[in-house]
Every structure is written in structure tokens, then in C-alpha cells.
Amino acid sequence: MAKPSSVFECTACGARYPKPMGKCGGCGAFGTIEEVRGSLKKGLDRSRSAYAQSHYNGPISLLDVEISETQRTETGLPELDRVLGGGFVPGMVVLLGGEPGIGKSTLLLQWAANATGTVLYASGEESERQIKLRARRLGAENPGIHLLAETDVRAILEAADHMKPALLMIDSIQTLFDPEFESSAGSVGQVRGCAQILTKWSKATGTPLVLVGHVTKDGGLAGPKVLEHLVDTVLAFEGDRHHHHRLLRALKNRFGAAFELGVFAMTERGLVPAEGNPFFLETEPRPGCAATVVLNGTRPVVVEIQALVASAGMGIPRRTALGIDGQRLAMLCAVAERRGGVQLHDRDVYVNVAGGLEVEDPAADMAVIAALVSSATGRLLADKCLFMGEVGLTGEVRPVAQLPLRLQEGARLGFDRAAVPRLGLEPGIGAGLELYPEKGLERIRSKSWLMARPENEE
């Protein structure tokens, strides 16, 4: 009798080895390689049988491939449609990830309630009764939703083949297992194997598939990296539990633009589209506050940059950033001191993006420096003014992408002036705003943008 084959697999990245290793050569992690008996041969045999059963007729010329317009189906949630690129298409596989309790199951249930046709909702984490109670609270009791509390992927596909739903939802992929694999549910082999089976079924039948995925303590999707490569779209559901806003980002999308942003508000009745601009706080002007417009995909969002400059109590100045990259803040502090004439080398600097939004757009550089100058001098910035521009190490203000779109959003929210890069500025794009072209930081250094101190301050 042949000895059962064994393979050693990294639980972090899925790399395989013929013998045990202390460190994974794929991801560099220590102590993550475990033995998986017999799963490799079974997986290969199943892959061969799946390919043999498919309609494969050999290579085909690119000119002979027939295409047609992809018909999209709206989800009934405008913010979700924006992130998906206008809705979902037949055979589309979506992976939705997020922290526990952020609202993934709520989003899934509202999506199912607005869907046209039959929806099969398979849950390995909750019973039918729990899902029913949530649906009643959300007002999502759609008779077209069929619930299945099951973790066996073969049983789920058997029910899907019998029902032929218009949409299949799995909550979550980490709870599923395939009886042909010897590893436990949630392991790298099980997650990869179940995802491959479900994806092949979705592509073969043209049924859209939604998979919910867990995240690790570092914020990444749990399971092998190949899971993200298998699916068509990867959505990240983010937000702070202490804020009522939730952000839905498209990290990958084969049927639309990546890095699109959808904004929801969590209410007692579930997730609703956020009204207006939820990130800009309309409070009375204060020193250290500057407004800018950042782009998330194609969506312009007005945000408020808050800065606080204080004396370094321990003698070693601190640079603390919330919502922006800490290394970029350190660079902007150096530029503001050398090119903007602001003394910061012996002072603590704290910068925050109001509303909990993560800003990666370099167009916010000038707003950060303007907020630093305002806080360091204790004077207000010009009222109802936007600051947009990427700042280089020599203090020059560089152009930003989609400037007309940013100005239109600022004008819609009541701003009447904007400091913008002079380089590449085209006439007639002001959108009704008074523009102040900036070549460098000279005007900020000469305090042209600084007003008097507030009356309530000495």
C-alpha cells in the first residue's frame, strides 16, 4: 500500500514545501508552515477532471472571439452600484472583506432584499432565525430570499443547482469546507479549494457570486493571496465603530474602475447613502483648520485638515498623523520650515483628517502646510477657501489631477475661493470660484492667507 502523500503549506500565503520549514520563503513569516496530508493530490485530480469536463476546443484567434455588450444589473443601492461600476454582471465574483461588526452581513442582506429574482443566502456563521430577525429589523423581508445554514460547499452547490438562483451569497468563505480535503475549515487549502469550486460554478452558470471574507489583525484579507486573484472584484468595507459612516472601497475591479468609494450611513434601519458631504465638518473657523478636495476613484470629497503645533514637552518633537501618511507629514513639516518660514523643529506637530477618512491624495499637501502655518501663528486662514496642490521638496506647488471636478465640488458646498497650482492652469475652469494661482509657498510665508486672531483668543 502506497504511503499517503503529505505536503507542508504556509497558512499565511499558501506556499507549499515538500518538508517542514521554519520560515516561509514566500511571505517571510515564521512558524506558519503546517502539514496537510493528501490534499495536494486530491486537488490536482479534481482540477484535471474539472478541466476535462469543460468545453475546451483549443486556442482561438483573437479576431474570432465574439463579444457582446455586458448587461449590468443594478443592486438597488446607489453607493454599491458606484463602487461596482454600475452594477453587477453575469458570472461576476465579488469578495467583500471587513472587520467584525462593521456591517458586512447588513450590506449583504440589503443587497439581497433589492435583488430581482431568487437569491440563495448561504450562511455558515448564523442560523436562519438570526438572519430572519435582522431582516425584520432592516425591513428586508423579501420573499425571494432563500436561506441555507450550511458549511459544506458541496451541499451549497447542490442546493444552488436545484434552485438556480439569480444571485448566490456566501457568508463567509472561511467557514466553508470541502469533504475531499483533510484540513479544517478556514485553513489555506480549504479556503482556496472552496473558492475555486464556487468560482468555476459561477462562471459556468453565469450566476453572480458574493463571498464574504474575514480580515486579519493587520487589516488584510484572511486566507491565501490567490483568493484575491480568483475573484473579479475585491471590496473593502471600512469605518470606525464610533462613527456612523461606513466606507466601501473597490480595491480590484475587472468590470470597472478600481479605488472607487461608496459612503454609507449606519442607521437603525440599516445602511443608507450618506447625504451631502459627510467628512467636512461645518464648524466656526479655527486656527489650524484648512479645507481641501481629494479624489477617491472618480469621487471628489471635501475634507478638513486639522493641525496642532505645540511646544515639545520632553525636548524631542513628535510628528503624529491620523488619516495621512506619517512619513509624508514629516516631509511636509521640513518643507514648511525651510520654504514656508515656520519654526517646527522644536515643536510637536499633530495632524488629523476630520471624519476618519484616510487621505492618500497628494493634492492635500498644500492644505496640510496651510493648517500648520495657521496653527503655528494662531491666526485664521482665509474664509471659505480651498487649498489644493502637491508640494515638492523645493517648495513648488505641482498640478493635481481632475482640478475642474474638484472645483465644482467645492463650489457646490459653498466655497468661493481656492488656492490652486499655477502650473498647467487653464482659463475658464474656476466653476464660479475666485482662483489664486500659486507657484510656491511664498504667499503662505508672507501670511497673505492668514487673517486676524479669533476674538475669543488673547
Q: Is the pLDDT of residue 118 over 60?
A: yes
Type of residue numbered 39: S
Residue-level pLDDT at 54: 42
Asked whether the beta carbons of 329 and 368 are under 8 A apart, the reply is yes
Amino acid, res. 131: I
Where is 377: in which H helix or E strand?
helix 365-377
| Lowest mean pLDDT across 232-241, 408-417, 424-433 | 424-433
Q: Residue 340 pLDDT more than 50? A: yes
Range of weakest confidence among 221-225, 288-292, 328-332, 399-403: 221-225
Contact 380, 291 (CB under 8 A): no
Mean pLDDT of 262-277: 84
Comparing 424 with 90, the larger pLDDT belongs to: 90
Cα separation, 206 vs 200, whole angstroms: 10
Helix or strand (DSSP H, E) at 45: helix 39-53
**Per-residue pLDDT at 455:** 53
- pLDDT of residue 52 exceeding 60, the answer is no
Of residues 23 and 96, more confidently modeled: 96
Pairing state of beta strands 289-296 and 233-238? unpaired
pLDDT at 316 (0 to 100)? 83
pLDDT, tens digit, 9 for 90 and up, residues 177-197: 988 877 778 877 788 889 999
* Mean of pLDDT values over 447-453: 70
Based on C-alpha coordinates, what's the Rg of the chain?
26
- Backbone angle region of 311, left / alpha / beta, with phi > 0 → left and psi within -120 to 50 → alpha: beta
Write down the pLDDT at residue 421: 93
pLDDT band for position 49 (cuts 50, 70, 90)? very low
**Which one-letter amino acid corresponds to residue 332?**
L
**pLDDT number for residue 414:** 86
For the segment 370-381, what is each residue's pLDDT rounded down to a tens digit? 999 999 988 888
- Looking at domain 289-445, its CATH class is alpha beta
Residue 205: pLDDT band with limits 50, 70, 90 = very high
Q: What is the CATH number of domain 72-273?
A: 3.40.50.300
CA distance 440 to 341: 13
Higher pLDDT pick, 157 / 340:
157
Q: Name the band, by pLDDT with cuts 50, 70 and 90, for residue 3.
A: low
pTM: predicted TM-score of the whole model, two decimal places: 0.78
Are 250 and 260 in contact by the 8 Å Cβ rule? The answer is yes
Compute the average pLDDT of residues 67-72: 72
Residue 308, H or E segment: strand 299-311
**Average pLDDT of the chain to the nearest whole number:** 84
- For position 146, what pLDDT does the model report? 96
Query: With bands split at pLDDT 50, 70 and 90, how would you rate the model's confidence at 225?
Result: confident
pLDDT of residue 233: 94
pLDDT at residue 152 above 90? yes
Q: What is the mean pLDDT of residues 373-391?
A: 91
SS3 334: helix
- How far from the centroid of its chain's Cα atoms is residue 22's Cα? 33
pLDDT at 111 over 80: yes
Which three three-digit cell numbers place residue 388? Answer: 489644493
